[in-house]
Chain A
Amino acid sequence: MPMNSISIEGLSFDYHGNEVLRDITCDIRQGDYVGIVGPNGSGKSTLIRCILGLNRVEHGTITLFGVPQPAFTSWDRIGFLPQGLQLFNPNFPATVEEVVRLGRLSKKRFPRRFDASDSEAVERAMDLMGISSLGKRLIGELSGGLRQRVLLARALVNDPEVLILDEPTTALDPETRDSFYATVRDLNVNRGTTILLITHDSSTIGLYASKLLYLDKRIIFFGTFEEFCHSSNMTEVFGHHGQHLICRRH
């Protein structure tokens, strides 16, 4: 049986007294492609933020590759692609190469100098994402789709074992979105990369993911699509129409 990449046990989280996550327990195994869906405010992004250490967990535990999250330091094993950059300044003077190279920081110890191996890794990641020719361009000059590719290259620059994607295709046109998901699928199938994909679009998640985590502050469902689509409990929760919407494209 594959090892657990991420284990979550009894995780609860609140923002200033407002409950966002309640008693979340689940194991993400190596090679899983998990689609995390749920309505707005269901705690999807909060769950990811807790895993990444962006929110401090006070109730429950998160274990990454067998190491308790607060003590986890091997961040090069996890790649993260945010929905968008916090307060992104389109005039920020960073080149594509500089941004992708930032991902290599997680492999370094003080004084975190880059060397030739980092340049090679940056080139590989840019090749993989088809952005090799953009190395000297400023990130602020790129379209939303190309910028997402740059950030995905940054997330992949260490060949991570887990890739966490937070609504990665919101700003993309359908063609770019399909190409993006094909790349992610390829990583999962051919490299065995574990994928956690947050999306608000539960009707298309079945096209990509092999497992479904339906969240609404607590876990409503966690398992394979086959289990979901044949579960009479889920028919009760979602109704025939809701269940069909999620299952029809799987």
Chain B
Amino acid sequence: MSFADIIHYAFLQRALLAGTLIAILCSVLGVFLVLRRLSLIGDGLSHVTFGSVALALLLRFQSVYTSLAAIPCVLIAAIGILKIADKARIYGDAAIGIVSSLGIAVGILLASLAGGFNVDLFSYLFGNILSISRAELVVTACLFMVVLLSVAFFYNELFAITFDEELAVTCGVRVERINAVLVLLTALTVVLAMKVVGIMLISALLILPAVSALQLARGFKTAILLSACLGVASVIGGIFLSFFMDLPTGATIIIINFLLFATCFILRTTRK
């Protein structure tokens, strides 16, 4: 079977399109998250996604509604992380830890009530981009537009709080509000990304393209563009490679990402 043959498969076209959109979102937001030392927020929110997916499966929702049902839960969890960190006077990583473990605990309880882990739950845990439906692709495209336009609108404020929060305040930026925007956009992206790489590997898709780009970028916009390119390359490469070699797609994408990171790291060290 040649490359030209497989590209005509509708399921593969949907997977490539959805994967590209989600890779762009993860890679762009990843740059802000990594530089703000919020890398693990994706991990925390993905665990909440696990809880909400378990609930949706318990209630026997259809696949497309499972993702949609996860959105409010993850948005609430995202706000919860900010509120806990603020009101309980603890660091963000501890707040992420609290919400993350709660999400996992709820997920395990609900999965147990539903009679244990089944195939559907495993597909969310480890991703199954090749099974993405037309309806899911439409949802992905809509949320892609919402997240990307929001990043474009708030780009300068996001850059300001990422560079230095206190300097941002002295420029009249409402830091709490922009932080909330960043975390909510991340929450939406996490819900979308679970279909691509699975709940277990979402944080890698947020972190790896960004840290790879940061090895080489010479400017903030360059870092974002490079991160997006690396993210898209890893997802497209991962989809094809996993298809040809009959490998799990999510894991293949992450391995490619790691190889890209290693390459960027070597390039940076040799450039010096």
Contact = CB atoms under 8 A, between A and B. Distances in A.
Do A and B pair up? The answer is yes
Interface of A: 52-54, 73, 75, 78, 80, 82, 85-86, 88-89, 91-95, 98-99, 102-103, 105-106, 108, 110-114, 136, 138, 154
Given A82-B164, A94-B159, 7 more contacts: A54-B170, A80-B170, A94-B220, A98-B159, A99-B163, A102-B159, A114-B156
Contact of B217 (A75, A93, A99): A93
21 contacts: A52-B169, A52-B170, A53-B170, A54-B170, A73-B172, A80-B170, A82-B166, A82-B167, A85-B164, A86-B165, A92-B163, A93-B214, A95-B218, A95-B219, A98-B220, A102-B159, A102-B168, A103-B171, A136-B218, A138-B218, A154-B167
Interface of B: 35, 153-154, 156-157, 159-160, 163-173, 214, 217-223
Contacts of A78: 170
Nearest to B156: A112
B171 A105 contact: yes
B164 A86 contact: yes
A80 B172 CA distance: 12
A75 B163 contact: no
Contact of A105 (B156, B164, B165, B219): B156
A102 B153 CA distance: 15
Given A75-B172, A102-B171, A94 B164 contact: no
A78 B35 CA distance: 27
Contacts of A111: 153-154
B186 to A, nearest CB: 20
B40 to A, nearest CB: 17
A43 to B, nearest CB: 18
Nearest to B213: A93
Nearest to A113: B156
A85 B170 contact: no
A102 B163 contact: yes
Contact of A91 (B157, B165, B214, B219): B214
A85 B167 contact: yes
Given A86-B165, A102-B160, A102-B163, A75 B220 contact: no
Q: Which 9 A-B pairs have the closest CB atoms?
A: A105-B171, A75-B172, A106-B171, A93-B223, A93-B217, A80-B170, A95-B219, A106-B172, A112-B156
A75 B219 contact: no
A106 B165 contact: no
Contacts of A92: 35, 163
Contact of B173 (A80, A98, A105): A105
Contacts of B165: 86
Contacts of A103: 171
Contacts of A114: 156
Contact of A80 (B154, B156, B167): B167
B77 to A, nearest CB: 26
Contacts of A108: 156
Contact of A88 (B164, B173, B220): B164
A75 B173 CA distance: 10
Contacts of B167: 80, 82, 85, 102, 154
Nearest to A88: B164
Contacts of B217: 93
Contacts of A105: 156-157, 160, 168, 171-173
A52 B168 CA distance: 11
Nearest to B218: A138
B171 A95 contact: no
Contacts of A94: 159, 163, 219-220
B157 A86 contact: no
A152 to B, nearest CB: 12
